[in-house]
Chain A
Amino acid sequence: MKTIMDVINFIIHAPGSLSVYLAVGALLFAIGFFGFFRHRTLVGMLVSGELILAGASLNFMAFAHFRAADPVVGQAFALFIMGIAAAEAAIVLSIMIAVYRNYHSIDARDLKEMEG
């Protein structure tokens, strides 16, 4: 009975507990990691990379909100991650268009000119 009440208590107070956010961040990272290997196209790999970055910034935000003396640091870091991710997406997409022009495919397995 006590453990059931403990579980209910934990679930009720989930929005205010650090480990729940960390767990969500870890799951996002693991899902993105899986997708990075499963997807065969460059777009799919880019999407998975964005998921990994999202998990990282959720971790920063959670620690800044629950533990840090200055919660602004986490928000600023997440903003910078957004900027980097936007720049990365622009570069990757332009590379993809250049690759498509040369190979007429964005399947990662077709790009094997340098394969030994």
Chain B
Amino acid sequence: MTIHLTPEILNTVTVTLFFAGVVAVTLAGAVIAVAARRLVYSVSGLALSFMGLAGLYVFLNSPFLALMQILIYIGAVCIVIMFALMLANPKDEPSLLPHHVLVGLSYLLVAGMLAVGLMMVIAKSHWMPKAVQINSGTVEDLGRALLTQFGFAFELISVVLLLAILGALVVARSGRRSQS
């Protein structure tokens, strides 16, 4: 049987290839973040994984979330972790597998069982049918919902962030005087 390459099919195939690339980047970054022996590589893998996740968000029709993902996670969280790494200057992890090979294998086994079990649940379950969407999830809809429907949570999270900044300052400053 032959498949005729119409522009429509070609377009779909291109989109699918991009999607596969994005998924591969996400998972590869996650594996690097977990398996790397040096912590700098670990944080770089995390940044790579977040880059792929931003691509997945674009596929999920929310480019604003993708930009926020890059801005907040890669631009802020990963950089801050990197800074802390430079300040604390930890030793590289002594061995790839912690104290015993069997212990490391058991971690791998548990995580693998978790993944397989979740996959089976995903494959077997029947989700409810697609609901009629009341809006198309554009940036405008998101902004309106954030300031009306989620107004309280929005204000609350700004208080949480303020308290986190103050708490971080207090915790990081305490004990400085006793040392000097």
- Residue of B with least CB distance to A76: B150
Q: Across the interface, name the chain A residue whose C-beta is closest to B164.
A: A87
A71 contact set on B, CB distance < 8 A: 61-62, 133, 135-137
Binding site for A on B (CB under 8 A): 12-13, 15-16, 19-20, 23, 26-27, 30-31, 33-35, 39, 42-43, 46, 49-50, 53, 56-57, 59-62, 64-65, 68-69, 72-73, 76-77, 80-81, 83-85, 87-88, 90-91, 93-94, 97-98, 104, 107-108, 110-112, 114-115, 118-119, 122-123, 127-128, 130-137, 141-142, 145-146, 149-150, 153, 157, 160-161, 163-165, 167-169, 171-172, 174-176, 179
Looking at the complex, which one of A31, A58, A64, A84 makes contact with B56 (CB distance below 8 Å)? A58
Contact B16 A31 (CB under 8 A): no
**Total A residues in contact with B, Cβ cutoff 8 Å:** 75
A27 adjacent to B62 (CB under 8 Å):
no
**Residue in B61, B111, B132 whose beta carbon sits within 8 Å of that of A69 in the complex:** B132
Contacting residues, chain B, for A44 (C-beta < 8 A): 39, 42, 93
Establish whether residues B84 and A24, one from each chain, have CB atoms under 8 Å apart when the complex forms.
no
Residue contacts A-B, CB under 8 angstroms, 12 given: A19-B122, A31-B34, A34-B34, A41-B93, A54-B50, A64-B137, A71-B61, A73-B145, A76-B150, A94-B171, A97-B88, A107-B91
For the complex of A and B, the 9 pairs showing the least CB-CB separation, nearest first, are: A71-B137, A35-B34, A34-B111, A87-B164, A30-B115, A26-B118, A94-B168, A94-B172, A69-B131
Residues of A within 8 A of B145 (CB): 70, 72-73, 76
Q: Which residue on chain B has the smallest CB distance to residue A63?
A: B127
User: Is B81 in contact with A43, judged by CB distance below 8 angstroms?
Assistant: yes
Whether B64 and A43, one on each chain, are in contact in the complex, defined by CB atoms closer than 8 angstroms, is no
- Name which of B53, B97, B127 has the most chain A CB atoms within 10 A of its CB: B53
Measured between beta carbons, the chain A residues less than 8 angstroms from B59 are 15
Cβ-neighbour of A33 out of B31, B111, B136 (below 8 A): B111
